[in-house]
Amino acid sequence: KVGGPLTREQRKTIAKEFCGTLARVAGKNIATIYTVFDEVDRDYWAVGEDLLTDKDAKAK
């Protein structure tokens, strides 16, 4: 899961690096790894009591 949208290029890079890590560390076959990107609107996700959008606003 990730808070907010990713670009197609970001998803491709993440999938490549994630698969490489699983292959190297866990000995998994890249052809058998499935990756699902669950892009959650930052207003629908909270850390502790704060929505991510509120944390974003405080950081600005």
2-59 belongs to which CATH class?
alpha beta
CA 14 to chain centre: 8
Where are the chain's structural domains? Answer: 2-59
How far apart CA 53 and CA 3 sit, in angstroms, is: 10
pTM, two decimal places: 0.79
Give the three-class secondary structure for 56.
Answer: helix
Q: In Å, how far are 8, 25, 34, 52, 53 from 5, measured between CA atoms?
A: 10, 28, 19, 13, 13
Give the three-class secondary structure for 7.
Answer: coil
Tens of pLDDT, residues 2-58: 999 999 999 999 999 999 999 999 999 999 999 999 999 999 999 999 999 999 999
